[in-house]
Structure 1
């Protein structure tokens, strides 16, 4: 047993090294004064200064954050509504059909989703830009939120709802004072997952962006095609730090929610 446990730790360490080594390599050369990713000549912050003084890039950063926050908030609301709808469906067959339809956008290739949205927006006359990107991000984020919230609903005991109704609570009170507080960790998980997916998405956004509107993932791809520049490394390093900050923020919020939930149960 101890031997298996030891090899499990070694395997986990190897996996993490493989996953994070390219990121470490990228960040390491973002401080290279030589301007290449071959020979490290010295430490410099010039590439970070170049990124920080790039006005166009900061507009793109603002676009990306705006899209991510809006799409995450809207998709969280829609996802919670969808999860509640699926949960309260009485027919097992209909519930499975709804779950299958929900999972289509998750299992479908991003290229197919992006091309489909491009054709749809072209047919209905929506100009490619902020609106098309926002709608696309909402569409592929909603199923993620549903999958984060639905397990929390399934964990919830029906006796909680029965007890609330016995105490005179109406349907709205049951929803706002029993169901939503119980599934709050799932709602936060869905929001942060949607936020991460929106910030990282490239394939779908590449198809539906236009009219001078761009996001960071598309901008990094465009710059990389023009040739190697360590400003891309610096930008990627900053994005990586932002992602870590989001993960840490989600961790503390989930821990706080868990502690408050335990305190509520003790009462």
Structure 2
């Protein structure tokens, strides 16, 4: 009898090809000296130089990074305490209600979220720009952080907290020396997920940006409407590489955090 074919591996290979082939096609032609998406004529870095020489684009990159970092940090802090509030609430009905409210922003279409924020900011008089984008990014990032942190809280044995209380630990000691170190992998996961969601978001950002302020996703959309440009390919390639490095960084940091947590438990 012949060897059985590994259908799951074949299926995954086909899916990866479908997902990544367009990205690698875009990256390949970002080096095309011919300036088109067909007929590779020669290798050049000119379009990457154009990206770095474009002052307006560099300012937009800086805006995007600042928004992503600020929203990730603030949403991680809010999400961690939100997850603890959901975890340690006494009534199950209240817990289910809070979880349902938390998941609304995740399951809702981005267009609806963006339009809702636009109406809200217009109604309360917040000028569209940096502040509106930051608030919107924090809002849709918090539920993601909660979902990343909550499983780690559920894994933690209640006896750890009970033992700490029996030994005279204060609430602050329990929080800083027991709970936070244990859920560190979930905190890292929530932070990096919030960071990547903020960097990649287009739909919500498109609604809440104002004149004079933009992010990379909105800028790429604007450039793409003007026609095919190798500068877009170069910029998209750089974004993909940065996102890939963030994923790799999250993997190594979370792996290290899990190892340190394991050592702490053994001690």
The answer to whether TM tops 0.5 is yes
Aligned equivalents of 1:10, 1:234: Cα separation in 2 = 31
Match of 1:70? Answer: 70
How many aligned positions are there? 265
Aligned equivalents of 1:264, 1:79: Cα separation in 2 = 24
Match of 2:91? Answer: 91
Match of 1:135? Answer: 135
Aligned equivalents of 2:262, 2:79: Cα separation in 1 = 25
**RMSD across aligned positions (CA):** 0.9
Aligned equivalents of 2:153, 2:263: Cα separation in 1 = 20
Match of 1:263? Answer: 263
Aligned equivalents of 1:9, 1:195: Cα separation in 2 = 31
1:24-48 per-residue CA deviation (whole Å, 9 max, x = no partner) reads 0000000111111121111111111
Match of 1:79? Answer: 79
TM-score, normalised to structure 1's length? 0.98
* 1:3 is aligned to 2:4: yes
* 1:254 is aligned to 2:266: no
Match of 2:104? Answer: 104
Deviation of 1:252 (Å): 0.8
Q: Counterpart of 1:228 in 2: which secondary structure?
A: coil
Match of 2:179? Answer: 179
Deviation of 1:211 (Å): 2.5
In structure 2, the CA distance between the partners of 1:3 and 1:171, relative to structure 1 (3 Å rule), is farther
Aligned equivalents of 2:8, 2:257: Cα separation in 1 = 31
Aligned equivalents of 1:106, 1:256: Cα separation in 2 = 29
TM-score, normalised to structure 2's length? 0.98
Q: Counterpart of 2:44 in 1: which secondary structure?
A: coil
Aligned equivalents of 2:120, 2:39: Cα separation in 1 = 48
Match of 1:239? Answer: 239
In structure 1, list runs of 5 or more residues that go unmatched: none
Runs of 4+ in 1 over 2 A off after TM superposition: none
* 1:22 is aligned to 2:22: yes
